[in-house]
């Protein structure tokens, strides 16, 4: 019996010892640390194009200025674009058949800018005609026969 008691005592000591070691396996040290990282903002890949829908075809002295309508398209397939303004300019004039050496000038025309309501265009979207510019003939006291049949070239800038 003494031998059995001794074995039980040995087993009990070994069990307590193992539990102590096992309990120590769950201990940990607290610590602190720091680090850095970066993120990148995409570059704008939105490109806009402006397409003229209509323009006056009957400009002459005494004829009211006519509407110029256009659409703006966001050509990006992935990014939206906010359009705050569209500016229309006269970029040049191709003389008509009666131009006898006196040029038809940009000042022979009046151009009013559109009042553009800012719009956020989704990727690949096209704006509706939400703005209209006007273009008309600017009569002066001089003979303006040199502008008969002239073609007024327009440029568009959307931003």
Distance CA 132, CA 67 (A): 6
pLDDT confidence band for 4 (50 / 70 / 90): low
The Cα-based distances of 153 to 49, 76, 129, 136 in angstroms read 17, 27, 20, 13
Amino acid 115: pLDDT: 84
The confidence score (pLDDT) of residue 143 equals: 81
pTM: 0.71
Q: Give residue-wise pLDDT tens across range 22-37.
A: 555 567 777 777 666 6
Task: Please tell me the predicted confidence (pLDDT) of residue 142.
Answer: 83
């Amino acid at each position: 019996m003494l031998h059995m008691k001794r074995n039980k005592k040995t087993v009990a000591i070994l069990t307590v010892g193992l539990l102590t070691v096992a309990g120590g396996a769950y201990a940990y040290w607290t610590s602190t640390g720091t680090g850095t990282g970066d993120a990148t903002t995409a570059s704008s890949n939105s490109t806009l194009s402006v397409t003229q829908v209509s323009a006056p075809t009957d400009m002459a002295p005494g004829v009211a200025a006519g509407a110029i309508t256009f659409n703006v398209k966001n050509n990006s397939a992935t990014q939206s674009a906010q359009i705050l303004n569209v500016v229309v300019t006269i970029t040049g004039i191709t003389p008509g058949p009666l131009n006898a050496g006196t040029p038809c000038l940009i000042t022979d025309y009046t151009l009013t800018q559109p009042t553009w309501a800012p719009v956020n265009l989704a990727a690949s979207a096209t704006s509706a005609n939400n703005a209209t510019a006007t273009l008309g003939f600017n009569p002066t006291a001089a003979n303006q026969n040199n502008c008969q049949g002239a073609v007024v070239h327009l440029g568009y800038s959307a931003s």
